[in-house]
Amino acid sequence: MTAVPTVPSEPTIGVLALQGDVREHARALQAAGARTLAVRRPGELERCDALVIPGGESTTMWRLARAFELLEPLRKRIEAGMPAYGSCAGMIMLADRIRGGVAGQETIGGIDMTVRRNAFGRQVDSFESPVRLAGMGDTPYHAVFIRAPWVESVGDGVEVLGRAESGPNAGRIVAVRQGRLMATAFHPELTGDFRVHRYFADLVRRAAAGGGSPMRGSE
Catalytic residue positions, numbered: 88, 187, 189
> What's the rounded Cα separation, in Å, for the pair 219 and 213?
9
Single-letter amino acid code for the residue at 23: R
Q: How many CB atoms lie within 10 A of CB 179?
A: 20
78 is in an annotated binding site: no
Contact call for residues 218 and 15 (beta carbons, < 8 A): no
At 48 the three-state DSSP class reads coil
43 is in an annotated binding site: no
Task: Say how many CA atoms lie within 13 Å of 179 toward its Cβ.
Answer: 24
Q: How many angstroms separate the Cα of 110 from the Cα of each of 60, 64, 90, 181, 217?
A: 19, 19, 12, 7, 10
> What's the rounded Cα separation, in Å, for the pair 95 and 86?
10
57 is in an annotated binding site: yes
58 is in an annotated binding site: yes
> What's the rounded Cα separation, in Å, for the pair 173 and 30?
28
Single-letter amino acid code for the residue at 147: R
Single-letter amino acid code for the residue at 200: F
146 is in an annotated binding site: yes
> What's the rounded Cα separation, in Å, for the pair 182 and 173?
13
> What's the rounded Cα separation, in Å, for the pair 84 and 90?
10
106 is in an annotated binding site: no
Known binding-site positions for L-glutamine: 56-58, 117, 146-147
Known binding-site positions: 56-58, 117, 146-147
